[in-house]
Amino acid sequence: MSRPENIVMIGATSGIALACARLWAAEGKVAFTLVGRDAQKLDDVAKDLRVRGAAAKTRVVDFHDPRAIAALAEETGKDGAPDIVLIAHGLFSDQKKCQQDLAAARTAMEINAISPALFAEAFAGVMEKAGRGRLALIGSVAGDRGRRSHYVYGASKGFVERYMQGLRHRLWNTGVSVTLIKPGPTDTPMTAQLKQKGAALAPVEDVAAACVKGIARGRAVVYAPARWRPVMLVIRNLPEFVFNRMNI
């Protein structure tokens, strides 16, 4: 009998992470390690996945504690490296609040940049030793170019992109794939404020399908949905004198 696929999800209560987990659970035998900060929410996700036939255990971890992150990676790697690690936590920060409150800006940058990078580094070490695995991190199209509307959030996602590029370079030819996922605005609880303002949001199921497919194929970068790739190519390459006149 083949063993279940071992999947670790960091920020397992996020909308995109849950949608990905449901797709993986539908594919066959899966054993999830669900990592988050809220025990009750993690239990709810675990129950959802168990009903779908998957095994699931939960771990509450301090996302700002490097020692706790390292211990989690070491513990999950004792019986062999995970097949997939998805790092999905984040905070859609209020730009104006970050401008006025440096503590808010620091929190946004820590949870969107530093914490995901530390998780990626910790699990990369476990996977590199095993010589296998798929490491994926959810960034954002916002990291492609700094914009006045949310540059604290965008800068954090830009940091993550450079970090993942370096990690991918390091792990090339080791048997470990490194995937950065760049969703556009997605219909999840995190973007509820955007939905209230009438923003066009992609269905979370479509974004999750693109994530799961890209991870399985070992893609370096996945835009989700794919239409964001040409859109962001244009935005990245607009001359500064044109871009600065745009209210985006």
Burial of 118 (0-12, 13-18, 19+ CB in 10 A): buried
- pLDDT tens over the chain, length 248 residues: 456 799 999 999 999 999 999 999 999 899 999 999 999 999 999 999 999 999 999 999 999 999 999 999 999 988 889 999 999 999 999 999 999 999 999 999 999 999 999 999 999 999 999 999 999 999 999 999 999 999 999 999 999 999 999 999 999 999 999 999 999 988 777 666 766 666 678 899 999 999 999 999 999 999 999 999 999 999 999 999 999 999 88
> Which class in CATH covers the domain with range 5-243?
alpha beta
Domain positions in the chain are 5-243
Ramachandran angles phi, psi of 151, nearest 5°? -75, -20
User: Are 131 and 175 in contact, with CB atoms under 8 Å apart?
Assistant: yes
How many Cβ atoms are within 10 Å of 216's Cβ, its own excluded? 14
- pTM metric for this prediction: 0.94
The number of CA neighbours under 13 Å toward the Cβ of 198 is: 0
